[in-house]
Structures are given as C-alpha cells and as structure tokens.
Amino acid sequence: MSNKDRLSTGVPGIDSILKGGIPKGFTVAVVGEPGTGKTIFSLHFINAGLANGEKAIYVTTEESRASIIKQASSLGMNFLDAINRGDLVIIDALMGERGDAWSLRELDVEELVNMVIEAKKYLGHGHTRLVIDSMSAFWLDKPAMARKYSYHVKRVLSRWDFTTILTSQYAVTTSLGFGFGVEHVADGIIRFRKSIVGGFLKRFVIVEKMRQTDHDKRVFEIDIVDGKGMVVIGPSTLSRGDLALPMSVIRKIIEAELKKEIELEGGEELEE
C-alpha cells in the first residue's frame, strides 16, 4: 500500500509507527483510560485532514462543541474557521441544545448515524474524516450492546467514504470493559496507556492491529506538550506485557460481559 493511500494522523511519530499513516477508508479504534490522549489524538487527526483540504466531522459525547473548539485552538488548530468555511461539522452529543442543527438530543445510535450522514451530505462529495469521541457513551446503560452498536455504525457509514476514528474508554476500577465492541469491528486498534514511572506520570501508545499493513510492534512513550499537542518521544523500555491490563481485571471484564450478554439474550427471549 502506497503512502498516497494512507492518511496522516497529524502526529508525525505515530505516522512513522504506522509506516505512513492510517489506510484510507479504515475504521480505527482508539482506546484507553481517561486522560491518556485519545481526544488530543483525534483533534490532530481532524486537523491534518482540514490542512490537506479534506472535509471532517467530529462527534463529541463527553465535552461540548465549544470545549472541543477551545482545545483545538490551544494547539494552534482553527476549527472555528473550518466550520465557517463549511469544511467541518462538530456534532454535539453532550449539550443537546434546542435549535442547534448539529446537536443530538439523546445518545441513540440510530440518531447518531442519521446525523452523521446528514453532515456528510451538507459537506458535499468526497472523502471525509470522521471521529466519534467516544462510542462508550452510547452503551453506558447497556454495555452488552457494545458490539452490535459498533458494528451498525461501521456497516452503515462504510458506504459514505469515511476514514473513521472511534474512541472508547475504560476505567480499571470498574468491571465494565473498554468497548470490546469497537475493538472487534475495527480495522485497526491504537491503544493509549498511562503509568506512574519513577514518580512521574508517563503516557504510552502501541498499535495493536492495523489490517493490510505492517506497523511497528513496540511500545512508544508519548507526551502532551502545551501549545503543540501530542509528540512521540521514542520507543519505551516497557514491554507490551507491562501495558496490558492485569489478568484479574481482564477476568472481571470478561465475566461482566458474559453475564450481560446472557441477561440480554434472556430479555430478548421474553420479549418474543
């Protein structure tokens, strides 16, 4: 696959890890704990597209549209200009403001997909970058539906010439997983982690999967720099195993997922 078929993530070091960038048309899961850099990475991805003359859609479920615009601005990214030019739509799925054409009233996957398609029609023909940050918000009250919802989003939107980032987060303090649904349907998985090393908070990234392309298999240390955003410092001495979730947590996650699947199936049988 040539570099012309790849899209820059906007983070040069991650482009290098990916041997040139994300393959065009892919759906990539960007996963990790809160505060690991998923949103900042997503902003870079959108901005790189805008800088290249592409259209973009950003769905925000955990911050307001104003907050996303402000964060982008702090990194030297002018999302407001892009919105005014008709190159960017930010769908606000948090505030649910009446009279706002690009605001979701409730966290409903069908409504999400329909609004993304309407935004694509508004932006016009051609390839569009899409970020949904985060997918986790759509199944907080029904986690067993994670895979079904994720598959639906990918299946429907794959017809509309998108390259998509779906973020999903998890907290190791709960039994709830980090969106197995997103990881199952994704063409690629980029995992962000954070850890206290030598008394300092450090952040890491590893590309766990990227179909149809080679990629660096090592763990890389990253940093979030004021005014600049995400930078890759270099390969870490930590191993993939060091960044893996503890087996006890994985076991709890799997048990919780299985229990919810059984409960869901039982509920569907009762409905029939």
Backbone angles phi, psi at 118, to 5 degrees: -65, -40
Closest-CA residue to 68 (of 7, 115, 134, 124) = 134
pLDDT over 50 (residue 270) = no
**pLDDT at position 178:** 46
173 is written with which tokens? Answer: 């303090």
Contact present, 115 and 102 (Cβ < 8 Å): yes
Tens-place pLDDT, residues 1-42: 556 599 999 999 999 999 999 999 999 999 998 899 999 999
Question: What percent of the chain clears pLDDT 70, i.e. is strictly above it?
Answer: 82
**pLDDT at position 17:** 98
**pLDDT at position 130:** 98
pTM score of the predicted model: 0.87
Tens-place pLDDT, residues 95-113: 888 889 999 988 999 999 9
